[in-house]
Amino acid sequence: MRKVTAAAQKQLGRLWHISSIYMHPAIQEYTEKLASLLPDPLKVIYLTNSGSEANDLAMLMARAYTRNFDIICFRGGYHGGSPSTLGLTSIGSYKHCVPTGFGCQTTMLPDVFNGPWGGSQCRDSPVQTIRKCSCSPGSCDAKERYIEQLKDTLATCVPKKIAGFIAEPIQGVNGAVQYPMGFLKEAYELVRERGGVCIADEVQTGFGRTGSHFWGFEGHGVMPDIVTMAKGIGNGFPMAAVVTKAEIADSLAQNLHFNTFGGNPVACVVGSAVLDAIAEDGLQKNSEAVGTHLLREFAKLRDKFEIIGDVRGKGLMIGIQMVKDKESRQPLPAEEMSQIFEDCKDLGVLLGKGGIHSQTFRIKPPMCITKDDADFAVEVFHAALTRHKEKTATAK
C-alpha cells in the first residue's frame, strides 16, 4: 500500500492530468508493463476508468470488428451498470425499468451446485460440491449437458452470425460460481464458429487473485480475443483497461475513440506500482496459499452446519452459499443471512453478499492477508453460525 501511495503522491506533485491524445512517459511505461503480463496476441491496450466502461468498450469492439450485433452472456453474470452493460448483467436486483443493452442474449449458467446438473468432480477448486458424481472416468456429463444448452441458445435466440460472448472466468457478484472444467474451451469454439469474439471479464478474477494463474482465463486453458479488467488493477484507484488483438483494435481505429481521463498520469503510475507490489510481495502465491487454506477450513464448517450448502472458489475468490437445508438447497431467508452478516461485522469481519437471492457470502479479501487473518475470519464465521444455530433452536 505504501508503494502505491508514494507513487501517486509523487505524480500528483508533477502532473495530475493530460489526456491520452498526448503521449506521456507514465502511460507508455505502464502499458508496456501490463502488456508483458498478457500472452500474444493480446497486446493492444485501451485505458478507461471503470469496469463498466471497459465492458462497454469491449461490446463496441466486438460489434465493430465482426459487423454483427448479438452478444451472449450467462445468467447470473455481472458486467456493469451502464445502460449498455446492463444488457449483459443478468441479476434482477441490478435491473431498472428502462431500455438497456439491446442485442444481449442470456444463456443457462453452467452452475454445478444450483443448476440441474453437477457433481463432485466438476470444478477447478480445492473444494467440490457435495452432489454425487456419476461421470465415467475422463468425462463430465454436466459439462456436456450445459454445452447442449448453449447450443440451444445459439440455435434459437440469435442469428447465424453473432458479435461475441462474454463471461467471467469465475462469476463474482453471483457468488464465486465456477463452471465445469473444459466448458469455456468448448463454448469459445462454438462462439467462434458463429463469427463471434470471446471476451474474458477479469474485473474480479484478474491480477493473481485466483492464485494458480495471473489471469482467470488461463485456468480454463482458453485464449480470449478481448480481456477487460478493473478493481484490482489500481488497488482502489479508479482505473480499468481493455486489452485486445491488433486486428480488433484496427477496426475500432477506423473512426475516433476517445476517453478524457483514461490513462491519466496518476492512474498509470498507480497501476504500475500495483504490478510491482504484486510481484515483489508475492501476492499471487499468497492468494493461492491463504485462499486454499480458507476454502478447506470453510469446507469443514460446511460439513458441520446444515445451513452451509456449498463452499467454492479458487485463491482468494470464495463463495459460501447458505441454504435452508442441504436437501432442498433453498436459499437461507434474508433475515437470517442479515443476522449472520451483522454478527460477523460486530465480531470484526466484513463479508460481502451476492447471488441471485443474496444467499451467498462473498469473500474476496485483500491479497496480502495472512494465514492468521484467515484463521480469525473462520473463527468469527464459526461463532456467528453457532449463534444462529442457538437462536434457531430457541425459536423452535
Angle CA(307)–CA(311)–CA(316) in degrees, nearest 5?
A: 135
Tell me if 2-280 shares its fold with 283-395: no
Do β-strands 164-167 and 71-74 pair in parallel, antiparallel, or remain unpaired? parallel
Amino acid letter for position 267: A
How far is residue 380's CA from residue 374's CA, in Å, rounded to a whole number?
10
What is the C-alpha end-to-end distance of the chain, expressed in Å? 49
Please tell me the predicted confidence (pLDDT) of residue 101. Answer: 86
Q: How big is the CA angle at 320 (ends 302 and 52), to the nearest 5 degrees?
A: 170
Of the candidates 382, 21, 81, which has an alpha carbon nearest to the alpha carbon of residue 203?
A: 81
CA distance 149 to 164: 17
Quick one: cell of 145?
Answer: 449437458
Q: What pTM was computed for the model?
A: 0.97
- Residue identified by cell 476454502 is 295
- Which residue, 198, 176, 151, is CA-closest to 351? 176
**Per-residue pLDDT of the chain in tens (396 residues, 90 and over written 9):** 788 999 999 999 999 999 888 889 999 999 999 999 999 999 999 999 999 999 999 999 999 999 999 999 999 999 999 999 999 999 999 999 998 889 999 999 999 999 999 999 999 999 999 998 877 777 789 999 999 999 999 999 999 999 999 999 999 999 999 999 999 999 999 999 999 999 999 999 999 999 999 999 999 999 999 999 999 999 999 999 999 999 999 999 888 888 999 999 999 999 999 999 999 999 999 999 999 999 999 999 999 999 999 999 999 999 999 999 999 999 999 999 999 999 999 999 999 999 999 999 999 999 999 999 999 999 999 999 999 999 988 876
pLDDT of residue 48: 97
- Strand 226-229 versus strand 317-322 pairing type: unpaired
The residues, ordered by sequence, that sit 6+ positions from 135 with a Cβ below 8 Å of its Cβ are 119, 121, 141, 142
CATH of 2-280, one of 3.40.50.2300, 3.40.50.720, 3.50.50.60, 3.40.640.10: 3.40.640.10
Domain ranges of the chain: 2-280, 283-395
Pairing mode, strands 317-322 and 360-363: antiparallel
- The backbone torsions φ and ψ at residue 332, rounded to the nearest 5 degrees and listed phi first, read -65, 135
SS (H, E, C) 306-361: CCEEEEEEECCEEEEEEECCCCCCCECCHHHHHHHHHHHHHCCCCCEEECCCCCEE
Residue 99: count other Cβ atoms within 10 Å of its Cβ: 9
Cell of 100: 438497456
CA distance linking residue 197 with residue 60, whole number of Å: 12
Q: How far apart are CA 146 and CA 136, in angstroms?
A: 17
Q: 289 CB contacts (<8 Å, ≥6 apart)?
A: 211, 371
Predicted confidence at residue 124, as pLDDT, reads 95
Is residue 71 classed as helix, strand or coil in its secondary structure? strand
DSSP category for residue 119 = -
The grid coordinates of residue 86 equal 446492463
- Evaluate whether 235 touches 274 at the Cβ level (below 8 Å): yes
- What are the cell numbers at 160? 447465424
Question: Which residues, 6+ apart, have CB-to-CB distance to 233 below 8 Å?
Answer: 206, 207, 239, 240, 241, 271, 274
Cα–Cα distance measured from residue 383 to residue 386, given in angstroms and rounded to the nearest whole number? 5
Confirm if 238 and 231 have CB atoms less than 8 A apart: no
At 396 the pLDDT is 67
Would you call 97 helix, strand, or coil by DSSP?
Answer: coil
CB 56 within 8 A of CB 295: no
Q: Which residues contact 123 (CB under 8 A, 6 or more apart)?
A: 112, 129, 178, 179, 180, 181, 312
Give me the helices (H) in the chain, please.
Answer: 2-12, 25-35, 51-66, 141-156, 183-193, 246-252, 265-280, 283-304, 334-346, 371-395
Please state the CATH superfamily assignment of the domain spanning residues 283-395 in this structure: Aspartate Aminotransferase, domain 1 (3.90.1150.10)
Amino acid at 369: I
